[in-house]
Amino acid sequence: QMGASLYEDKEAYKNNSPSEFVENIKTPTLIWTGNQDYHVNWNQSEQMYLALRRLDKNVQFLVYENEIHSIINPQNQKDLSERIHRWFDTYLKKS
């Protein structure tokens, strides 16, 4: 979808990489993924998490076993919903 390979246009790939701009992130970030996600490899999510953590950013990373791009297992859906709710309560709720 980039229109050229990495070797043909390295600058375009660099400019398209969230990792290049991670130091600008100030928003608390919750990242989740399924370890069977074939749309976005879960390792890319882990790399973003590690980059944010190394910069001492407020980040949490969740990996759901045997899940794809969409969380399908009802127990995992419930867990994720509860975690998102707690995240919002922590960072968006007014006192």
- pLDDT given at position 95: 61
Given this model, what pLDDT does residue 2 score?
A: 86
Could you give the CA distance from residue 90 to residue 28 in angstroms, rounded to a whole number? 10
pLDDT of residue 94: 72
Give pTM, 2 decimals.
0.83
* Distance between CA atoms of residues 55 and 37, nearest Å: 26
Q: Locate 55 and state its tokens.
A: 């910069």
Please give the chain's pLDDT, 95 residues, in tens.
789 999 999 999 999 888 889 999 999 999 999 999 999 899 999 999 999 999 999 999 999 999 999 999 999 999 999 999 999 999 987 76
